[in-house]
Amino acid sequence: MKFRSPVTKALTLLGAGAIATLTAGCAVATMPASGGWGPPPTAMVTTADGKKVVDPRVQDCAIVGIGSPTKYACGGKVYTSIQLTEMTQKANAAAN
């Protein structure tokens, strides 16, 4: 019968815990493209000529430039973080 030292037992448990953690982390990373929560909400704004326009959100944009203010590319256009904030505030005010 082979006896294990306390250090060997601790390392075995640590390794098993690491494998379990990595396996659980990978399971969360394979969520569907919609995130599992349904489609993302969109902010609709009605322009002066009556057209409905979807406001871009920071979550849906790519960072183009990191600085002050940060620049984001959304739908082929570049917006600053200030412009995106103002558009969101106008959409929220129009909704209320």
Q: pLDDT per residue over 14-72, tens digit each?
A: 888 888 877 776 555 555 555 555 555 555 555 667 766 667 778 878 899 888 889 99
Q: Name which residue leads in pLDDT, 73 or 93.
A: 73
Q: CB of 54 within 8 A of CB of 44?
A: yes
**What is the three-class DSSP state of 1?**
coil
Q: Name which residue leads in pLDDT, 93 or 41.
A: 93
Q: Is the pLDDT of residue 77 over 80?
A: yes
**Strands in the chain per DSSP E:** 43-46, 52-55, 62-65, 71-74, 77-80
Q: CB of 72 within 8 A of CB of 62?
A: yes
The confidence score (pLDDT) of residue 80 equals 92
Q: Is the pLDDT of residue 91 over 80?
A: no
**Sign of torsion over alpha carbons 42, 45, 94, 57:** positive
The confidence score (pLDDT) of residue 29 equals 55
Q: Is the pLDDT of residue 89 over 80?
A: yes
The confidence score (pLDDT) of residue 71 equals 92
Residue type, 25: G
